[in-house]
A and B are shown apart, each in its own frame.
Chain A
Amino acid sequence: METLSVRNISLTYPGLYSDQAVIALKGVNLTIRSGDFVVALGASGCGKTTLLNLMAGFMAPSEGDITLGNHQVIGPGAERGVVFQKHALLPWLNVIENTEFGLKLRGVDKATRRELATRNLALVGLQDFHRHMIYHLSGGMQQRVGIARALTCDPAMLLMDEPMAALDALTRETIQELLLKVWQLTNKMFFFITHSVEEALFLGSRLIVMSPRPGRITHTYELDFNRRFLAEGNARAIKSSPEFIRMREEVLGIIYGDERESGNPEVAHA
């Protein structure tokens, strides 16, 4: 059982002049334990990606600290795997070479890393595509390789920054279900960013809604739609259930409110 603690994090992007400094995050607290599936949702500019980058160690906070277990997060590391919006795979390697890349970096022998990579590729449904090149795969399959690659390093935590944003609706639903199965099997910490309220409600065991200017967590919901899906197996029935729809409208209301306050013309009449 591991715990990631985000304690009173603030991050200010310095502008060109002092009055242009942007407060991306202010006073954010978050605790994620093994088996938590935390989903972050919020209007553009609310600091979701900044929060993920801080947890991944790609950025350092202006104030506060982040710890994983007994260690302070001071940079990226293999115990915190990342899945990106654009797959970020290496085009000169084929599917299985991409999947085992992290183990190769660590000097794991070939037989062992092939075995682990094979297992994770089977988990994401790519057992027949070991030797395919990345650029011959569809967007959904590339994202599956990205997930398998992150899993192969066996991180304690999986950070995902809108991994399904570029996928079509059908592929999205398939991979949502896949992610929940992986979550159930591995019992890791999941942190997932999305713009889709439906996706957030379906995947998360905890939903954090963030607001911009300054970026902060305004609402937290404990959810169990994902466990119901894993027990019952009918995603459509869950997504059309009255509770799901009620939650969806409530969360949408919060986000639209934020967008309108921030003067986004796209939602002026929503």
Chain B
Amino acid sequence: MLERVNRTRSVRPGKIFGAPGDGNSGFISLLTALVLVALWFLVTESGWVKPLFLPSPLAVWDKFMLALTEGVSNSTLTQHTLASLTRVFGAFLLALVTAVPIGILMGVNRIVRGLFDPIIEFYRPLPPLAYLPLVIIWLGIGEFPKVFLIYLAIFAPMAIAARAGVRSVSTEQIHAAYAMGATRGQVIGQVIMKAALPEIFTGMRIGIGVGWTTLVAAEMVAANRGLGFMVLNAAENLESDTVIMGIFIIGIFAFAFDLLIRYLEKVLIPWKGRI
């Protein structure tokens, strides 16, 4: 019995025993991706699944090259991608400069909170497809209503995150600032807004994710360019290879941007979770 206790090493040297989920998982994730791609090759090359349901990776790659050079649905892939990126990031930036200040103000001012709370909480759970017709009837079929639809979807989570961030400042920090002669404006600008940064970044990550989700809905009506439009158009013609290619492009851009925000978070708010 004692022998067994002595034999098992509880933890690797320099690591803390019992920390849940300790260690690097990057290698395992890479392995998961490789196995999935290998399975994809296997089931398509062996003919177990018809190309209509799941085209082979090579067919998707060919479609990708074709889309880059000759284009699909009347535009090249670069044009589709640029159209969608402009819409999503336009909406994201618009949300960033409006939702964050409004969220902060909701946190520090009861009148602003009373004004916006019912609006945000009412429309937030609605699916964008439900109010898409209204947006089109009110704003027409140009570029702005598409950006606006994505903007609405991003606005709610970002405003809610900024408002929640206000609460992460401690009363002591606020009192300390006042006891050093701070004005109310200085307390909001130099203490509360800084303390809310970690939550604002979380809101940005959730917001951009919702933005990508809403992209396809935004490009459903009266679009002639965009990744969402391309996927919808291909689906109508049962071009599964284009659908999968479109999904990959959206996924890669969304993932890359999330990595970028996570990197910025690490650089700009090193104190997150440490105090």
Which A residues fall within an 8 A CB radius of B? Answer: 56-58, 75-78, 80-82, 84, 86, 88-92, 101-102, 105-106, 133-135, 149-150, 153, 159
Contact = CB atoms under 8 A, between A and B. Distances in A.
Contacts of A56: 175, 179
Instruction: Give 9 nearest A-B pairs by CB, closest first.
Output: A78-B181, A102-B180, A88-B172, A91-B271, A76-B178, A135-B274, A82-B179, A91-B275, A88-B176
Nearest to B275: A91
A159 B176 CA distance: 11
Contacts of B191: 90
B10 interface: no
Interface residues of B, number: 23
Nearest to A91: B271
B132 interface: no
A80 B269 contact: no
A90 B182 CA distance: 14
B69 interface: no
B180 A58 contact: no
Nearest to A135: B274
A161 B266 CA distance: 34
A92 B274 CA distance: 11
A105 B182 contact: yes
A78 B194 CA distance: 22
B145 to A, nearest CB: 39
B180 A91 contact: no
Contact of B275 (A58, A78, A134, A153): A134
B173 interface: yes
B170 interface: yes
Contact of A76 (B175, B269, B270, B274): B175
24 contacts: A56-B179, A58-B178, A76-B175, A76-B179, A78-B179, A81-B180, A82-B175, A82-B176, A82-B179, A84-B175, A84-B176, A89-B176, A90-B195, A91-B271, A101-B177, A102-B181, A105-B180, A105-B182, A105-B183, A133-B270, A134-B275, A149-B176, A153-B180, A159-B179
